[in-house]
Amino acid sequence: MPVKERGYHGWEGSLAPRRFPWFPISVHGIRQVKEKKRAKLLFFFSAFPFLFFLIAVYVASKPELRFLDEITRFINDDSRFFDLFFTRSGLMFVLFLLSVYAGSDLISADLKFNSIQLYLSRPLKRLDYLVGKLAVVMFYLLMFSLVPALLLVVAKLLFSGTWSIGLSTLGAILVYPFLASLALASLVLLFSSFSPNTRLVIVGYVGFFFFANMLAGILSGVVFKHSALGLLSPERTMRHLSALLFGTKPAMAVPLWVAPLLVVMVSLLALTWTLLRIRRVEV
Amino acid sequence: MAALYSTAVVFGFFFRLSLHNRRTWLLLGAAFIPVLVLLVARAVTMGGTGTAIGPVLFNQMAVPFLFTLYIPLMGLLGGSSCVGDEIDQQTLVFLTTRPVKKSAVLIGKAGVQTVISLVIVFPALAISFALGFGMYLLSSEGLARLGGYLLAGILATLAYTGLFVMLGTLLKKPVIAGIIYIFGWEYVVQFIPGSTQHLTISHYVKSLLPYKAGGEGFLMFQLEPSPDLQAVIVLLLLSAVFLVLAARVFSRREYVLSEPRI
Amino acid sequence: MAPVIEAETLSKWYGNILGVSDISLRLMPGVHGLLGPNGAGKTTFLRLATGQLKPNRGRIRIFGEPVFNNPGLFQRVGFCPENDAYYRGVSGGDYLAFLARLHGASMEKARDQAREALHQVGLEEVADKAVSAYSLGMRQRLKVSAAVLHDPQLVILDEPLKGVDPLWRARITDLIRDFASRGRTVIVSSHVLPEIEAMTNNIVLIHQGEILAEGDIQEIRGLLDSHPHMISVRTPQFRLIAEWFVEDHHVLTIRFDNARQKVVFKTDNRDHFFGRLNRFVVENNLEIEEITSPDDNLQAVFNYLVGRK
């Protein structure tokens, strides 16, 4: 009998190691998100920043549309183009919404229906469970950040006919969405592990982001008048990260390396905390 | 009369239940974040150049926090929970198989959410004001100004709670829609020319705030604020319309107690 | 006599999933058992009967009145839902007092009614404890008491004995019978035949959203008795027993399970089979480890009845 079928029965054999035990959790989660109500509508609107930039690339490649040069001149600077795409196109809000939609109930619903125990009664570690859930959110976030960015690279290549994108920009295109998705996915999972009430999870998560932005503004602009406090804002930190990766002008007078360090640390902290929350669940 | 009695019974029961709910205390704590920041800021700037930082912090931090974030989110959480909690916990059947009009149940529950929100928001607003303005609060002008903020707080709470109670009766996932409304629509219309801002609750709430300044975000007006009386009437009307619609929908709709609603 | 519940061509579906289909039914005063396997449509029917759902087609009336959005009706109707739901942070006593107040009782009367209702189901000692601290069986008893709290003329109980221990099963069964003896109507659903049998002889068999049979339980029993039965006997001497039955023409097939030392008979006369088996076991002093009837359950009856349709 396969181990998976054995449920709560005692089993004394040794487990054959599987490379990705979390994979079935991810596949199941990805399917569930796709089948949620109004998922297609949300995905459609999530593609708007990409569509807008795609049109811009097309317009810039047409000599007869030169009169739009004023609007589309940012397109010729690849670094600036992708910096704008990631940080100023509304993509951040889109990714934020997607993280709410795909991630808020991932652990919360399991807490509500006591299904974490069911997962952990299988040959799965708590870490596998967490990685499985993380992969669900990452999948959707990368789908609407990394994939469109790569499509824009292809579109630029096709429309201009020459390869202009530098290797460092290409690297940044790969790294930025990954780090942004990791941070959002980790945070939403942390909030999801706080309560079995998904509504409370969403409101807490949204409140945290918007309050952090507000607080960063007031502390850096009014109270302490030090732009480093802008790093309290997830949005500003992501812009700072983008400035580092794409070599654009940062808005804050803070060393650029602080941004990736902060993003990675916050992500790791959130994931560790989530893991501790899952550890509290008794099997 | 019977409906009023039922509403009062529902209100009493769920109010007591809310007091035992950890969520209520968590929200109470969150409302005092601006108070904490104001305290820290005052301590940090004490003995500084003498810049009047208190009023600035109150206007640029406490007011936006409470009026653009906290009250709408409280309305969203409380309003959508009126029906959502009953469906999630599968307890709706206990209320709908009793000789009580469904509208009385809904209004009783919405009343609890409104009162809880106000009980939380009032002290947070008053203490923030006191910390921001100090002795000015004791003057008649200061009191009138605080009264203005409190009135705006009451009407904003009523309108947002009403809107999200209605959304909660209509939609299976009212929270996502609510977030899109609060942080999408109410934000975006600030940049849309014309009188589109009239289609938001925040426009009328902002119009009622005693302090109106230019600048970024919440307090930026591309459209002139509406007159106070008009804003009061519109907010009251909106609250009433939302609640009546919610009660009608709730009475006529069936709710299948199975999948979780977010 | 006017029916208490009257359903006409009642149908309900959830998207593509059928809940109940074309049910026409008239239930007169008395106790009625709604019997069906899990997923048969019992709960959907009871939800339609209590106005929680709107029918897609047809109509349902209680005491001649429509049910959906008719709260006044619930002064005369009590309902115990199937799901294990409760308000967190509230005690059993406060919860029942709240419900009594919804029926118009004053604060004091509501407390008295709650106390009396809790006493009936043996929960008076935990009246002040939070419902969340109750066991599943206790919560089930609380729901039953909530359904009869206001002494309604009709009580609808959806799986009321689920999770209740044997002692309280018997007491709740008595409570239901006592309630009916006072001229009240009770509709009780279950997927366990003996549970229903202990309460009433009137049953409605529901399967795949349709009413399969309606009437006296003895008739249904008769159907059950006349259809071939599987009987499994586990004993080290299982081949010896098989040999004894080989020539019995009421035994239709014999199957061996060597690994479990078991023999499975198919017989068309259960009483005759058990009579002979008992005699043989006693005469030969055999050691029997287990006798089961794998299909002596509701699903077998339904399969049989569906097959006959």
Q: What is the DSSP string of C6-29?
A: EEEEEEEEETTEEEEEEEEEEE-S
Q: Determine the residue of chain B that is closest to C13 in CA distance.
A: B256
Q: Is the pLDDT of residue B108 over 50?
A: yes
Helix (H, G, I), strand (E, B) or coil at C214: strand
Cβ separation of B69 and A37 shorter than 8 Å? no
Cβ separation of B176 and A100 shorter than 8 Å? yes
Q: Which residues of B129-158 are buried (b: 16+ CB within 10 A; e: fewer)?
A: bbbbbeebbeeeebeebbeebbbbbbbbbb
C238: CB partners within 8 A, 6+ apart: C256, C261, C262, C263
pLDDT in tens, A121-157: 877 888 899 999 999 999 999 999 999 999 999 988 8
CA separation (Å) from A76 to A56, A69, A70?
A: 11, 10, 12
Strand partners, C204: C34, C214
Contacts of C73 in chain B (CB under 8 A): 99
A245-251: average pLDDT: 87
Contacts of C104 in chain B (CB under 8 A): 2, 5, 99
Cβ separation of C77 and B97 shorter than 8 Å? yes
Contacts of B4 in chain C (CB under 8 A): none
Cβ separation of C85 and B91 shorter than 8 Å? yes
pLDDT in tens, C41-57: 999 999 999 999 999 99
pLDDT of A67 reads 64
pLDDT of A30 reads 94
B63-76: average pLDDT: 90
pLDDT in tens, B200-211: 999 999 888 887
pLDDT of B217 reads 46
Output the CA angle B29-B31-B32, nearest 5 degrees.
70
pLDDT, chain B, mean:
85
**Do B114 and B242 meet the contact criterion of CB atoms below 8 Å apart?**
no
Write the DSSP symbol of residue C122.
T
Question: What span, in angstroms and rounded, lies between the C-alpha atoms of C159 and C161?
Answer: 6
Q: Determine the residue of chain B that is closest to C53 in CA distance.
A: B254
Determine how β-strand C262-267 pairs with β-strand C251-257.
antiparallel
Write the DSSP symbol of residue A45.
H
Angstroms from B147 CA to nearest CA on chain A:
25
Question: What span, in angstroms and rounded, lies between the C-alpha atoms of B3 and B127?
Answer: 38
CA A204 to chain centre: 18
Which string of DSSP letters, residue by residue, matches C231-287? EEEE-TTHHHHHHHHTT-TTEEEEEEETTTTEEEEEES-HHHHHHHHHHHHHHHT--
pLDDT in tens, C202-231: 889 888 888 888 888 777 766 666 667 788
Contacts of B173 in chain A (CB under 8 A): 36-38
CA B139 to chain centre: 28
Q: Determine the residue of chain B that is closest to A90 in CA distance.
A: B184
**Do A121 and A156 meet the contact criterion of CB atoms below 8 Å apart?**
no
Question: What span, in angstroms and rounded, lies between the C-alpha atoms of C200 and A6?
Answer: 41
Check contact C-A (3+ Cβ pairs < 8 Å).
no
Q: Determine the residue of chain C that is closest to B101 in CA distance.
A: C71
The pair of three-digit structure tokens given for residue C306, joined into one six-digit string: 């569906």
Q: Is the pLDDT of residue C307 over 70?
A: no
Contacts of C55 in chain B (CB under 8 A): none
Give chain C's contact residues with B (Cβ, < 8 Å).
14, 50-54, 68-69, 71-75, 77-79, 81, 83, 85-90, 94, 98-99, 101-104, 146
The pair of three-digit structure tokens given for residue A240, joined into one six-digit string: 């700072």
The pair of three-digit structure tokens given for residue C51, joined into one six-digit string: 């106005």
Cβ separation of B97 and C52 shorter than 8 Å? yes
For CATH 3.30.70.100, list the domain ranges present in chain C.
Answer: 227-308
For CATH 3.40.50.300, list the domain ranges present in chain C.
Answer: 5-86+137-215
B78-99: average pLDDT: 91
Please name the amino acid found at residue B124: A
Question: What span, in angstroms and rounded, lies between the C-alpha atoms of A111 and A114?
Answer: 5
Chain A interface mutation, best of B44, B67, B113, B262, highest count of A Cβ atoms under 10 Å: B262
Confidence class of residue C303 from pLDDT cuts 50, 70 and 90? low
Angstroms from C64 CA to nearest CA on chain B:
17
- From the list B56, B180, B260, the residue facing A105 with the nearest CB is B260
Write the DSSP symbol of residue B239.
H
Q: Is the pLDDT of residue B246 over 90?
A: yes
Check contact A-B (3+ Cβ pairs < 8 Å).
yes
A218-245: average pLDDT: 86
Q: Is the pLDDT of residue B183 over 50?
A: yes
Write the DSSP symbol of residue A38.
T
CB pairs under 8 A between A and B: 80
ipTM of the complex: 0.83
Confidence class of residue B196 from pLDDT cuts 50, 70 and 90? confident
Question: What span, in angstroms and rounded, lies between the C-alpha atoms of A205 and A270?
Answer: 13
Cβ separation of C98 and B9 shorter than 8 Å? yes
Helix (H, G, I), strand (E, B) or coil at C31: strand
Cβ separation of C85 and B89 shorter than 8 Å? yes
A12-22: average pLDDT: 72
Angstroms from B170 CA to nearest CA on chain C:
16
Q: Is the pLDDT of residue C102 over 80?
A: yes
pLDDT of B218 reads 46
Number of helical (H) and strand (E) elements in chain B, helices listed first: 13, 0
Compute how many other C-beta atoms are within 10 angstroms of the C-beta atom of residue C37.
18
- Please check whether residue A34 lies inside any domain of the structure: no
Confidence class of residue A2 from pLDDT cuts 50, 70 and 90? very low
Compute how many other C-beta atoms are within 10 angstroms of the C-beta atom of residue C258.
9
pLDDT, chain A, mean:
86
- Please check whether residue A21 lies inside any domain of the structure: no
Residue given tokens 């889109």 in the structure block: A94
Q: Which CATH class is domain C5-86+137-215?
A: alpha beta
Confidence class of residue A3 from pLDDT cuts 50, 70 and 90? very low
Compute how many other C-beta atoms are within 10 angstroms of the C-beta atom of residue C309.
8
**Do C121 and C169 meet the contact criterion of CB atoms below 8 Å apart?**
no
Long-range contacts at C114-122 (CB < 8 A, ≥ 24 apart): C114/C149, C117/C145, C117/C146, C117/C148, C117/C149, C118/C92, C118/C93, C118/C142, C118/C145, C120/C145, C120/C148, C120/C175, C121/C145, C121/C168, C121/C171, C121/C172, C121/C175, C122/C168, C122/C171
Q: Determine the residue of chain B that is closest to C156 in CA distance.
A: B97
Q: Which residues of C199-227 are buried (b: 16+ CB within 10 A; e: fewer)?
A: bbbbbbbbbebbbbbbeebeebeeebeeb
Cβ separation of A211 and B69 shorter than 8 Å? yes
Cβ separation of A215 and B37 shorter than 8 Å? yes
pLDDT of A1 reads 40
Write the DSSP symbol of residue B225.
P
Cβ separation of B257 and C83 shorter than 8 Å? yes
* Sheet of strand C251-257: strand arrangement: C251-257, C262-267, C229-234, C290-292
- From the list B41, B69, B261, the residue facing A207 with the nearest CB is B69
pLDDT of B238 reads 96
B108-134: average pLDDT: 90
Q: Is the pLDDT of residue B170 over 90?
A: yes
Compute how many other C-beta atoms are within 10 angstroms of the C-beta atom of residue A273.
16
pLDDT, chain C, mean:
87
- From the list B73, B81, B180, the residue facing A207 with the nearest CB is B73
Query: How far apart are the two ends of chain C, measured CA to CA in Å?
Result: 31
pLDDT of A5 reads 44
Angstroms from A159 CA to nearest CA on chain B:
32
Q: What percent of chain A has pLDDT over 70?
A: 89
Chain A interface mutation, best of B60, B179, B182, B259, highest count of A Cβ atoms under 10 Å: B179
CA separation (Å) from C168 to B235, C100, C126, C133, C162?
A: 55, 24, 16, 18, 11
- From the list B57, B69, B262, the residue facing A218 with the nearest CB is B57
- From the list B57, B64, B175, the residue facing A199 with the nearest CB is B175
Cβ separation of C75 and B6 shorter than 8 Å? no
Indicate the number of domains in chain A. 1
What architecture is domain C227-308? 2-Layer Sandwich (3.30)
Task: Give B58 or B150, the one with higher predicted confidence.
Answer: B150
Question: What span, in angstroms and rounded, lies between the C-alpha atoms of C5 and C26?
Answer: 6
Domain boundaries, chain B: 2-252
Q: Is the pLDDT of residue A73 over 50?
A: yes
pLDDT of C33 reads 92
- From the list C83, C94, C102, the residue facing B99 with the nearest CB is C102
Range(s) of the domain holding residue A150: 48-279
Q: Is the pLDDT of residue A202 over 90?
A: yes
